[in-house]
Structure 1
Amino acid sequence: MDELLNMSSTQQVLSMYQHEKCIDELLDGYVKLLDICGIARDYMFQIKEHVHALQSALRRRKGDSSIENSISQYTHLRKQMKKKAKKLIMELKQMDNDNNNNNKLEALSFLDRDHHFFAVIRVLRQVNVMSSSLFQSLFTYLSAPIPSRWSLVAKWMHKGTISCEEKQDIVNELESVDAAICRRIFDVQITHKRLVALESSIEGVENRLECVFRHIIKARASLLNIISQ
């Protein structure tokens, strides 16, 4: 994308069509994605803070009430995030639909007028599409179902076994931690191990979100610089 935006022909065509509606839509889309990225980063921070609190409570072992309180707070956070994540997924899907519809309309409008401008807009819009796809994957991850203690017991009984080291098909680290803390009697070592795995996963997501944030900022800044010349 950098090479495309640095081409003099690209800069000329963007300046020529700087007042087109699709330019404003692109810039607005970048802003929306930056807002969503900020929400995602905040979610990661909150989960990590609660993971640290759970780890601290497990290490101290000063009483079940401390652990239960940390578990209750973590579970409450997860439930809140699950609801919000589902709404954000719907919002992102609507953005994708709008992008697809705009591509079709622009194809009819610009293909006969300026192939280069249409191609540039499609490439710039791909930043939105790829970012949206990543965010949808993340929010799907965050909206993983939160099992109840009794639903877990029923699931294990259906499989014909209940063991401390059960080999469940857990989709991600969040569900793994949920499963560990939802037991009436849980193994501290297993729970701690799963919390460590979750924390490591969160750090990886945070790094990826930082890269996406910078990429969107750069794309928006480059477009603004070109059309303001």
Structure 2
Amino acid sequence: MVMTSIFTSAHLPVRSVSLPTRVELEPQPLLQSLKSFQDSSYNAKVTPFGLEEIQAALIGLAELYNSVGELVQSSSTQQALVHYKEGKLVEEALNESVVLIDSCSSARDIILMMKQNIQNLQSALRRKGANSSIESHIRAYYSFRRKAKKDIVSCLSALKRMENDRTTNFSLLDIPNHDLLPLIRLLREARSISISIFRELLAFLSAPVGKGKARGWLLVSQLMPVIKSGSEKGKKIANELENVDIALRSLLGQGRGNCGNDNKAEVEIAQRRLGTLASSFEGIESGLDCMFRCLVKHRVCFLNMLVH
């Protein structure tokens, strides 16, 4: 599955208007692309999302939040949001922003630590002769992955609660001010797409590892969307993280102590795959940094509405 084509334009045009003029607010090309990613994430995939696709989705999501920010700049819009049911919409936006910022920050912290572990592994593999060092670094890498699963499960649980929160899923028919409907619809879309993208990234980072993987993955899988029946046919292709796992397990299985001697090809494969994963993480880190700034800006915007 190639998803990057849906985000080929780095900066899609977005119309900016001021409420309460009743117009179509949604930046349609960008929104449709993000929805395509979201729809795919709700189905089992023969080819799983890779980091390149997730990075593209993060960049698109940041653009969407920038569009939302432009739409709430007018004082009339802000007054309408604050006055609706005594600021209910503003309060919901603030509560949701906390969960999304925490998820973004946690994913970024996990990736930073994984990059450090990858660098340690690359250094050990370059030394080649230090066989015990290679094995200890591989085990340290897997140990961190298992520990990170606790934070991942916590984030996924918070995202699931937000997705299922009935107080934020009220019918649009309940809103008397029809001029607010397009903006509220866009805010709801942004929230839903954010949940899907962060969930996809966190699921990627929680790929099963070694001993105890069944229980850890069960917790994660229970927090993921229900897979539609009949969509699991075909052989699943490994993503960047799983490719590294395959290479590292191959090294560990080379007779204990032969790392770097009789398995030069395996070492080279592991180095290459670790390099690919590290490069991909650079892109994800950049996307998360961009998304983090957008979410903070989004939160500050709504906080300011309560001050004025």
Instruction: Please state if 1:33 is matched with 2:100.
Output: yes
- Name the CA distance, whole Å, in 2 between partners of 1:21 and 1:6: 18
Identify the residue that residue 184 of structure 2 maps to in structure 1: 121
Q: 1:106 to 1:223 in 2, by over 3 A?
A: farther
- Specify the SS of the correspondent of 1:182: helix
- TM-score (normalised: structure 1): 0.80
C-alpha contact (below 8 Å) 1:147/1:182 kept by paired residues: no
- TM-score (normalised: structure 2): 0.61
Identify the residue that residue 214 of structure 1 maps to in structure 2: 293
Identify the residue that residue 105 of structure 1 maps to in structure 2: 170
C-alpha contact (below 8 Å) 1:96/1:129 kept by paired residues: yes
With 184-193 and 48-57 compared, the bigger mean Cα shift is at 184-193
C-alpha contact (below 8 Å) 1:50/1:74 kept by paired residues: yes
Deviations 1:61-94 (A, max 9, x none): 2321111110110011122234542443233122
Identify the residue that residue 224 of structure 1 maps to in structure 2: 303
- Name the CA distance, whole Å, in 2 between partners of 1:213 and 1:126: 18
Deviations 1:151-190 (A, max 9, x none): xxxxxxxxxxxxxxxxx96421111111101121251100
Identify the residue that residue 202 of structure 2 maps to in structure 1: 139
Aligned AA for 2:246?
A: A
- Specify the SS of the correspondent of 2:125: helix
Q: As a proportion of its length, which structure holds more helix?
A: 1
Figure out how many residues of one structure are paired with residues of the other and give that number.
Answer: 206
Deviations 1:3-50 (A, max 9, x none): 311234312312423833332121011012111211111000010000
Question: Where does structure 2 lack aligned partners over 5 or more consecutive residues?
Answer: 1-67, 212-234, 255-262
Identify the residue that residue 70 of structure 2 maps to in structure 1: 3
- Name the CA distance, whole Å, in 2 between partners of 1:169 and 1:13: 49
Deviations 1:88-132 (A, max 9, x none): 32331221122xx3354252432xx21223443332343332222
The 5 A counterparts of 1:58-207 are 58-98=125-165, 101-110=166-175, 113-146=176-209, 170-183=237-250, 184-185=253-254, 187-207=266-286
Aligned AA for 1:31?
A: V
Q: 1:115 to 1:91 in 2, by over 3 A?
A: same
Identify the residue that residue 79 of structure 2 maps to in structure 1: 12
- Specify the SS of the correspondent of 1:17: helix
- Specify the SS of the correspondent of 1:198: helix
- Name the CA distance, whole Å, in 2 between partners of 1:31 and 1:69: 38
- Name the CA distance, whole Å, in 1 between partners of 2:123 and 2:85: 55
C-alpha contact (below 8 Å) 2:81/2:87 kept by paired residues: no
Q: 1:169 to 1:125 in 2, by over 3 A?
A: closer
Q: 1:87 to 1:170 in 2, by over 3 A?
A: farther
Question: Where does structure 1 lack aligned partners over 5 or more consecutive residues?
Answer: 149-167
With 216-225 and 2-11 compared, the bigger mean Cα shift is at 2-11
Q: 1:142 to 1:121 in 2, by over 3 A?
A: same
C-alpha contact (below 8 Å) 1:18/1:227 kept by paired residues: no
C-alpha contact (below 8 Å) 1:173/1:194 kept by paired residues: yes
What is the aligned-residue RMSD (CA, Å)? 2.3
